[in-house]
Chains A and B, each alone.
Chain A
Amino acid sequence: MKLKITNLSKTYKNGVKALDHLNLEIGAGMFGLLGPNGAGKSSLMRTIATLQKPDSGSIEFDGINILENEMELRKVLGYLPQEFGVYPNMSAKNLLDYFARLKGISSAKERDAIVKKVLEVTNLYDQRNKHVSGYSGGMKQRFGIAQLLLNNPKLIIVDEPTAGLDPAERHRFLNVLREIGTNHTVIFSTHIVDDVKELCHNMAILNGGKILAHGTPKEAEDRLRGHIWTKIIIREDLEEYKANFNVISEKYNQDNTLNIKVYSETAPNDTFINAEPQLEDVYFVALKSDQ
């Protein structure tokens, strides 16, 4: 169960290079794809999900050449796009039954059973007769998970699923995802570092259509250990610091001072304090170094 992406490139009609000779190998478990908006995450996800063709390169999953044999992949694929709608005026149960048919479950009894199960898993069973088009954001995302489970997928692709969810929903959602991730390959894109931190045993940082970093969150953090420095400054000094140091992030404190972080092999000067690297720092360093 290994997804292997080789040399994947895609340029859109408007000249945007969404994927740029991208290479990536993903094994079983939760894989986090971290990147800012417009980094090419969705392009990559859609390409893996057979919705879009790359200009060049190849993708292979579990011996299936995705670009040549999309139908085979679709049989084992679960996909939740960043944004989706549903047919209006259809209940969750009916919609899931519809998807179950699309996914090749021929027996009505078995369809009922699995629809019931995925509704339970996603905690939608009580709302199963309500129109999905009237669901709240979180419920709709859970519905998205429910439908992707129907074919018991080996490869699951979820594109920024937590955007816009309230904390409790996000939690619930991540739990479900995590539960699935133990047996499957789950690729999970996000621009929220915490999602990855909490969930993934493997990750990559993507920007400008290229992989900037790849590894486990732990390894990445370890690599930065001793190189992240922090300091509290006043707002007026920020420009000066930015000019002199490799500032990777700055945040307001409540008293209107700023907390800046600097990446440096050695202490930039003695006013900086060495900080324990966070995954967020890994992300910012990666983006910064790509500029």
Chain B
Amino acid sequence: MFSTIFNFEFKRWLKNPSFYIFIFLFFIMSAFIAATSFGVFDSITASRGSNSMANSPLALSEFINGMNYLIYFLLPIIIGSSVYRDFRYNMHTILFSYPFTKWDYIGGKFLSSLLVVIIITLSIMAGITVASVLPWANQDLLLPFNMLAYVQIYLVYVIPNLFFFGVIIFALVTITRNISVGFIGVIVLILITIILSSFTRDIDNRYMVALFEPFGEEALGYYTKYWTVAEQNNNLLPFKEVIIYNRLIWLGISSLVLGLLYYFFSFTQTALTFGRSKKNDRVTKNNFGGITAIKLPTVKYDYSGWQNFKTMWSLSHFDFKFIIKNFAFLIIAFVGLLVLLLMSMTAGQVFGTSTYPVTWQMLMLPGTFFSFFINILTFLFAGMLIHRGDTSRMGNLIDVTPIPNWALLGSKFIALIKMQIVLLLIIVIAGVSIQAYHGYYNFELGHYFFELYALKLINFVIWAFLAVFIQTIFKNYLLGFFVLLILSIGIQFLPLLGIEQAIFNFNSGANYNYSDMNGYGNSIELYYVYKIYWSLFGISLFCLALLFWKRGIPMSAKETFSNAKKRFNVSFGAVLAISLISFFALGSYIYYVNNIENPRYSDKESEQQAVDWEKNYKKFEHYAQPRITDIKVNMDIFPNTRDFKAAGSYWLKNKTKKTIDSLFVNFNDYPTVFKFDAETTLVLKDSLFNFNIYKLKTALQPGDSIRMNWEITNKPNTILRDNSPVLANGTFISNGYFPSIGYSSNGELEDDKTREKYGLKPKERMAKATDSIARMNNYISNDADWVSFETTVSTSDDQIAIAPGYLEKEWSENGRKYFHYKMDRPMLNFYAYQSARYEVRKDKWKDVAIEIYYHKGHEYNLDRMVKAVKLSLDYYTENFSPYQHRQARIIEFPRTGGGFAQSFANTIPFSEGIGFIANVDDEDKDAVDYPFSVTSHEMAHQWWAHQVIGANVQGATLMSESLSEYSSLKVLEKEYGKSQMRMFLKDALDNYLLGRTFESKREQPLMFNENQQYIHYNKGSLVLYALSDYIGEKNMNNALQSYIKKVAYQEPPYTNSIEFVSYLDQATPDSLKYLINDMFKTITLYDNGVKKVTSKKLENGKYEVTIEANISKYHSDEKGKRIYADKYGKALRYKDRDQKEPIESLPLQDYIEIGIFSDKVDAKSKSKEKVLYLEKRKVTKINNKFVIIVDEKPTEVGVDPYNKLIDTNSNDNRKKL
């Protein structure tokens, strides 16, 4: 009987067109998405270049498992419905009287439909394979086809997952006989994953999450998270420990579910229902009712349009009630709320410190996942409402009432909107609850409601229009749902196909953004323009839905069309015409403004431009040019109209030994005029690249100067186009907007493969550290060394405007405020203007004035910042060199401008998003006071950038970013102790290891880094901190001090990392010289771990601890390939008793810290543990035994217990006794 049921069910699917539709959909989608990443569309859009192969086993697994999220939504439709169908069509009454066993029935149904789903998933693989052999696929991005990779992905992840979740969904639908419960199941599983994944932000939770995360992705990530590019390209997926456990756990869970289903399933005819069963009275019938005269009361029948409109509204209540009483809705709403609350625990955390739960932060909590759920529910309920008449078989009764189609369909649409409103309310409830929980009582309900209902809702309404349309077209609402799901996801891929403009991409367009300083600013207007545009399209869709909406008995396609023609009357046509015409009119206008009035360049064209720029002008790169020596700028900022006007003058001095006959002026597309105080002719004016060449009538002699005056304004802002960076409150404009001298290589293409395509030579990201031409420029500016700076900046009378320098004069004129700033010493050609309604906090350190310009309400961390400035000044002046300014200013700017702080001379713009609203918990030892650490980092830049500036060559940022990180860590350590170091360094290690997995060109050693953030920030802070630990803080700082003394404020050629490292090298004793090589000159990683530990109590009351630890290290090449042999080809090997593969290592002469700890902490100490022993021990082989005697009973031991060294698995460094 089993095979009969199996075969019957399977054949039924083979005959079902939707089976082929699904296969086709997944095939096309996979092929299409894969093709974009294989570079198939590079001929129509921007090129894709990468080091990591697009079809490496890891990439394939991400892709296939990603696509599988869509497949999971098929589970309720295919597996869930296999039993449900029998009930739906009342087959069960007949079927269940046939002689088969429960297993025949359940097993046959489940396995056959599982097979169907598996066949559908195979179309993903087919799609990828086809995409990879398309003639336009870029073979440089591809590895040869590897069947084993697919087999692994399908056997370990795809098929088991389908089985696990298939079982769960099958059980849910079979027991409740409700397909939508199956959808809930899928969504809940996805939510569980989201929640679990959010816990991995804390690295310590990764193991547990990997065990239980249902899809197995975290388990895979547990091993592959830090895979370098080489490992991604060369390795098959791992299949070991955690992955096996995870799969077994879920196999267990799903088997249990299957067992329970088998046990509880009975061939009865009632479904299990949740909730109350109502008590009903026994009804006895009165069969003797006589004949009653039927005299109906006279009532008024109103068929007017207005009445229909009111009826539409009141009918929507009925449909709305249907939604909110529905299981799917209730559960998803509840789970959604739960997820929001859970997410709030980790949201917005930086180094373990969260921000105050301000309203905008709460509004960001839902992120994309909540929007996705609102959409899913919209898609689902649009179908359920539109087909509600059919499903309940009441449709015919409704269809013959004199209610117009628009009122009936409209009522369903309104019910959907009401549902969306309720779902958005959940965000308010969650937000306010979270705020109240954290004791934050500033409930800005107005802000909540404005963002959710005035801004966000319209986005969902537009989706509802589409949902109503699609669900009207499709007879089967599950199919309709699926199509909508795919549309909503597929639309995001349109830009990859070269469809880049928002007007062609459904419901896209500019988004709004919020900052405390500037509110929604001007982002709202453009948002509304696009939403109105798409609403007009939505209304047109609704009209079309009305034409094709089924009323009465289903009709053939031909009848549907002739019926639609009949429905198309004058008033209907008018509405459709108006909405369509306005849609096209608005769209054409936007198109006109963005394409014709203003030139627009597609990604492809921009790529070509970058090529042209390089081909045309690269030849001028090393042409002798004068350097800017003096800068004077008059800057007028108009916050009300968001305009600015700048007039500046540069003194340009010929510092070369040659005469200069022409000037290359590089500017941007703002209207700009130039004037020179010598006679010049414009010999080239490139209005595309904004590059002018002026020929000097009399050549500029060495040592001579010429003055260049320039004026720059912005084009007026319009609703559709922002032509200025000025904000109503919180302007932040840097000198990047102003003209520069000479060719700039910034715009050149980076990716070598793309460059090759355009016939360009491979390019170094940065010049070699020894490049003597490149060393003539510092890495901040290509056209100046140290400059004098003076500026007058004006703004509206309620704002303060700030620029580097000291305030010389402040006055009002014509209702505007003017500020005159002048810097009293040479500084880098690097400055910015800020203007906002500021409050000012003032303080002093010795004779240095400390000022913080902040937004009212952001007082939370001012004290911390002031303290950080003072302590930084203390430490840096004592250890490095004197502070060159009389003032240190921190100036807040809106988070919409970015989440960073930046150091200009005596001036530090500081984003409101990273510290001003941080909620630092001084009690929590794992939480870093980052307002403090960011401030001290930026303060350190006053030395490491503004005193010592590296040449524009590889490794330059070692002397700015890495040293600033080091400096601020030292200040932080002094103030907060070592415990905060651990939190900080753990994060740095994680970010460094993650960063290398995304490396698009090549990983460089720290000393030759090419402005790679994961190297100069994360690795830099680890390495410098560890070095100071090894060679001693004082020793290290002395080296820094003498380095500063040598190179501060130097003129070209600028210092490089080779020079810097030589100072460190000198300070390092011979026994530790290997560190200089490992840390700076090569990429070195350790793999340290405690194998075994025993302890025994000695007679004298002390404890003898025996630690067995494996120590190994390797170099990594630029792609991440491990190298174990040193330059002489020597390597260590050690084979453990219980290990199959021997451990390899570079030869060791290393000092590794060994620690023994006790959890008995005396009250005085701030830390969580007591150190019984901590010493660096010399290690020369892989397997080591340390026997150490300590005074107290040890509870934990570790090798490199504080993770000072770079180690991809830092979890096994400690072991508990």
Contact = CB atoms under 8 A, between A and B. Distances in A.
A114 B396 CA distance: 22
B403 interface: yes
Contact of B287 (A101, A106, A130, A168): A168
Interface in A134-172: 134, 138, 144, 147, 149, 151-152, 168-169, 172
A89 to B, nearest CB: 7
Given A74-B400, A85-B393, A130-B280, A117 B315 contact: no
Interface size class on chain A is: 35 or more
A221 B721 CA distance: 86
B280 A87 contact: no
B394 A104 contact: no
B157 to A, nearest CB: 40
Interface stretch (B111-119, B292-300, B440-448, B927-935): B292-300
Contacts of B394: 84-87
Contact of A71 (B289, B301, B404, B552): B404
A51 B301 contact: no
B402 A71 contact: yes
A113 B287 CA distance: 25
A36 to B, nearest CB: 21
B746 interface: no
A227 to B, nearest CB: 36
B16 interface: no
Contact of A105 (B299, B322, B392): B299
A46 B397 CA distance: 11
Contacts of A172: 287, 289
Contacts of A117: 296-297
B318 interface: yes
B388 A87 contact: yes
A77 to B, nearest CB: 6
Contacts of A193: none
B1070 interface: no
Q: Interface centre among A83, A87, A107, by most B CB within 10 Å?
A: A87
Q: How large is the interface on B (under 10, 10 to 19, 20 to 34, 35 or more residues)?
A: 35 or more
Of the listed residues A105, A106, A118, the one surrounded by the most CB atoms of chain B closer than 10 A to its CB is: A106
Interface stretch (B303-311, B425-433, B855-863): B303-311
Contacts of B402: 71, 74-75, 102-104, 151
Contacts of B318: 87, 98
A102 B408 CA distance: 9
B283 interface: yes
Interface string B541-560: 00000000001110110010
A107 B166 CA distance: 51
B302 interface: yes
A106 B310 contact: yes
A120 interface: yes
A74 B401 contact: yes
Contacts of A152: 296, 299
Interface in B836-883: none
B515 interface: no
A121 B308 CA distance: 28
B176 to A, nearest CB: 14
B1041 to A, nearest CB: 81
Nearest to B318: A98
A168 B289 CA distance: 10
A150 to B, nearest CB: 8
A113 B297 contact: yes
B282 interface: no
Contacts of B299: 105, 107, 110-111, 113-114, 152
Nearest to B559: A53
Contact of B322 (A46, A87, A104, A180): A87
A176 B293 CA distance: 9
Nearest to A49: B400
A102 B300 contact: no
Nearest to A67: B566
A13 B400 CA distance: 23
B559 A121 contact: no
Contacts of A175: 289, 291
B400 A51 contact: yes
Contact of B303 (A79, A104, A138, A176): A104
A105 B396 contact: no
A189 B286 CA distance: 27
Contact of A102 (B315, B551, B559): B315
Contact of A77 (B297, B400, B553): B400
A52 B297 contact: no
B399 interface: yes
Contacts of B266: none
A99 interface: yes
B286 A104 contact: no
A81 interface: yes
B655 to A, nearest CB: 86
B563 interface: yes
Given A117-B297, A134-B280, A102 B401 contact: yes
Contacts of A123: 286, 289
A52 B289 contact: no
A53 B563 contact: yes
A51 B553 contact: yes
Contacts of B559: 53
Given A103-B401, A105-B299, A84 B393 contact: yes
A107 B300 contact: yes
A88 interface: yes
A179 interface: yes
Nearest to B400: A79
Contacts of B398: 99, 102
Nearest to A145: B294
B1075 to A, nearest CB: 74
B294 A151 contact: no
Interface in B391-419: 392-394, 396-404
A249 interface: no
Contacts of A257: none
A7 interface: no
A118 B299 CA distance: 13
A168 B379 CA distance: 47
Contact of A147 (B287, B325, B397, B404): B397
A50 interface: yes
Contacts of B297: 110, 113-114, 117
A127 interface: yes
Given A127-B283, A130-B280, A50 B301 contact: no
A152 B301 CA distance: 10
B1066 interface: no
A81 B555 CA distance: 18
Nearest to B554: A52
B90 interface: no
Given A134-B280, A168-B287, A179-B292, A79 B396 contact: yes
A75 B303 contact: yes
Contacts of B291: 175, 179
A99 B397 contact: yes
Contact of B553 (A46, A120, A180): A46
B1035 interface: no
B745 interface: no
Interface string B371-402: 00000000000000000100011101111111
Interface in B285-342: 285-287, 289, 291-294, 296-297, 299-303, 307-308, 310-311, 314-315, 318, 322, 325
Contacts of B302: 104-106
A84 B396 contact: yes
Contacts of B300: 105-107, 110
B307 A104 contact: yes
Instruction: Please give me the 6 A-B residue pairs with the lowest Cβ-Cβ distance, nearest first.
Output: A85-B393, A51-B552, A110-B299, A168-B287, A74-B402, A102-B401
6 contacts: A46-B552, A75-B402, A83-B393, A84-B394, A101-B311, A123-B289
Interface of B: 280, 283, 285-287, 289, 291-294, 296-297, 299-303, 307-308, 310-311, 314-315, 318, 322, 325, 388, 392-394, 396-404, 551-553, 555-556, 559, 563
